[in-house]
A and B are shown apart, each in its own frame.
Chain A
């Protein structure tokens, strides 16, 4: 597509990168067909092509974001389904990241929105604060309907609603790593911020799986949030700080003992860690180190898939609907490994119709855009239930929470099932379900 940037604008590294992305777009419109918000709303401005066009104008004209542009960019789930569809190779993710940073710089959000976003950015990446917030949410449950009527209250109510879906999961403390005799490999396992509070059983299962296969697991004590959350909220410099911090932490591990991989059990985080090399490309002190970290990042299913895997020891055969998180299938283009692992363990894996469409979780999206998120969840649950599964498996805590709030069918992480099949404990949510 033709672009019209001034030479001074192009001197900025972000702008010149976005210009390259825009030049690749031919405006063919294929992306509209697989965009969840366009499917629901039918408005070009709520499609990737429309958003790209609005971003193009905003950046070319070097103008502040308008409330209209912000509304349509905010509605984007960042599911990246458009990137899977795009034949022209348009890197929408980098373009929309740039747009969000531009919005954060040039647009003042209404106060309730500012407070909510600020709170999400200050709470979710910090396990201690998140634990406290969950307690507040539990006691606020009775007043959530009243809250929903206040300005910005719909989002608070959505948060309280979501928190209730954790009731069957045990809040726990962060895990230490695990050593093995004569290890055949050594990996760092990302603790995850929300996950260590809400889904510690996931990493427990991952550690059992890895050590069972002779892999030593390290969990550096000072590792922080991957930065995905603040990045999607538009806090660019905080995201870069988070990236630099973790690059340092993992580089230290590489230098003291070596790492074969940085294993991630939350695909939303994996997408961003794999992008550290790009995010820090203009930072001379970090570019090289960050690229090395990104090259080492693996989803747990990618890593397991490359190992000579032990056989399962339990009677399986249960029908599992595999829900591929958008960050998994679109962000990381990891598609077959999770299903193949489950099949290898003897589960009957069913593909979910319309599997490329987001469940509405999308990081903090289900809090910030509850109406669209709820419609997407309903659509997803209907599609999942069509294949009549006994269990739903997914590789991302956000999706597990989102889908879990909309169905009675138990939702577990893929590695919890694989671990159970290999002799690990039965995931809590499956107790009494496998009959």
Chain B
């Protein structure tokens, strides 16, 4: 197995394990310090389970001050720290190393303030994405970014990965919906970036922090923009006899300047998997399906839908079906949002996260099929088509080591393809350990050096989430 390399653990740190744990007992509540082998094991991986490393220890602080104390200690004594939200990363963003302390935010899950007049909510970083909307929904508000793992994933993790989701086509991703953060730097200092309003003064450091994968500091609180829900929303299913037709329809809708709330794509394999789980009424006699959601007043939805339907028909759509009830709408989205997990019913998978220009969707879809076939595997495609964020699920058998390496090789080929057509390695899942070694394909050395300098300005000792994002042999050049 295991194409992805890990650095050798620092033996000096391993030798000091007992004294480090002893010191940590003074810094966090006893219920928030995990040191036994069995209990640490629960933290050895995230949703990229092909890779696992036991951490030195796990701390689950309850306050920003505790986070600060732990980081300061780790900084002063040279101990690595791996931040963790809900551990839902598909790119191994929360996978530890043997000489690192995992710092989990799961106990910091309080809502701190809701302000409807100024349209913001302030939460601790361990609050889950969906529970933010749950808090404000009774007043008709919502938080826009909605990654498929929104039930479980945390706001802290969303900020680290600049997470998107189905509805980001219209409302933007995390960086467009985040107003401010409280963050602890590796030396323990606590800083506030941004504020309770859009576009704060000074350098856009908040923009820098979003998507930095836990390498610049640990966000403990966030102020998020909340939006008033539209009058109505209606998902419509468009079935196509060919993947190319569906891909072309997406490109044409975007090119026509129409911005629905969401355009989601599923190929036949994904439709069958999701329908079996959610019983959403997805058409089973088509090769590709688009779930297009429009919102607004009835007249507005009717008008937008007429335009989209005309484009879909022109590209060969054979099925056009609107959701007729709230229950049906919920089932349509449940099926889509559970797609990855539901795939687990039929096979193990590696989930890719490349982004391509929408005009290239049809070409890339066809090429992905060829790549995966060449490696002797199967693929299911289910993704955010409207913003070209592809999620090919490469299906394989995790108990067969040769299939594991084939799946990884196919994944690398797909991501290279995304870069070649003018896209990028990651839309929203982050680089993590998974795409670390492909970064050179996306960036030249000068670009990478510049990024590493930024990172070093925040964490000069290279202690935060160390083995992620940048190629392992590259950091020393920083």
Contacts and interface: CB of A to CB of B under 8 A. Distances in A.
Interface of A: 1-3, 23-34, 38, 41-45, 49-50, 53-54, 57, 66, 68-69, 72, 85-90
A279 to B, nearest CB: 23
Contacts of B462: none
Interface stretch (B216-224, B341-349, B369-377): B341-349
**Which one of B31, B104, B106, B126 has the highest number of Cβ atoms from chain A below 10 Å of its Cβ?**
B106
Interface stretch (B38-46, B181-189, B356-364, B439-447): B38-46
Interface string B400-418: 0000000000000000000
A88 B344 contact: yes
Contact of B398 (A2, A30, A49, A69): A2
A33 B152 contact: yes
B128 interface: yes
A28 B107 contact: no
What DSSP secondary structure best describes chain B's contact surface?
loop
A382 to B, nearest CB: 15
A88 B341 contact: yes
Contacts of B87: 29, 32, 44, 49
Nearest to B399: A2
A89 B399 CA distance: 19
B60 interface: yes
Contact of B34 (A29, A32, A43): A43
26 contacts: A24-B344, A26-B47, A26-B49, A27-B49, A28-B152, A28-B341, A29-B47, A30-B151, A30-B338, A32-B87, A33-B130, A41-B31, A42-B106, A42-B109, A43-B60, A44-B106, A45-B34, A45-B39, A45-B42, A57-B38, A68-B36, A68-B38, A86-B341, A87-B341, A87-B342, A88-B341
Interface in B6-48: 31, 34, 36, 38-39, 41-43, 45-47
Interface residues of B, number: 41
Top 5 A-B pairs, shortest CB-CB distance: A87-B341, A88-B344, A87-B338, A26-B344, A42-B107
Contacts of B34: 43, 45
Contacts of A30: 149, 151-152, 338, 341
Contacts of B303: none
A431 to B, nearest CB: 35
B341 A26 contact: yes
Interface string B250-269: 00000000000000000000
B463 to A, nearest CB: 22
Contact of B42 (A23, A41, A50): A50
Contacts of B153: 29
Contacts of B340: 26, 28, 87
Contact of B344 (A28, A49, A54, A69): A28
Contact of A66 (B38, B49, B88): B38
Interface in B272-330: 277
B4 interface: no
Contacts of A34: 151
B468 to A, nearest CB: 18
A331 B342 CA distance: 20
B86 interface: yes
B404 to A, nearest CB: 8
Contacts of B152: 28-33
B277 A54 contact: no
Given A3-B399, A43-B60, A29 B42 contact: no
B60 A42 contact: yes
A86 B86 CA distance: 16
Contacts of A45: 34, 38-39, 42
Nearest to A39: B109
Contacts of A68: 36, 38-39
Given A42-B107, A66-B38, A89 B86 contact: no
Nearest to A25: B344
A69 B38 contact: yes
Nearest to A31: B152
A72 B345 CA distance: 26
B50 interface: yes
Contacts of A89: 277, 344-345
Nearest to B86: A29
A29 B94 CA distance: 13
A27 B45 contact: yes
Contacts of B348: 1-2, 23, 26
Contact of B349 (A26, A31, A41, A86): A26
A53 B344 contact: no
A224 B260 CA distance: 60
B60 A27 contact: no
Interface in B117-157: 126, 128, 130, 149, 151-153
Contacts of A90: 344
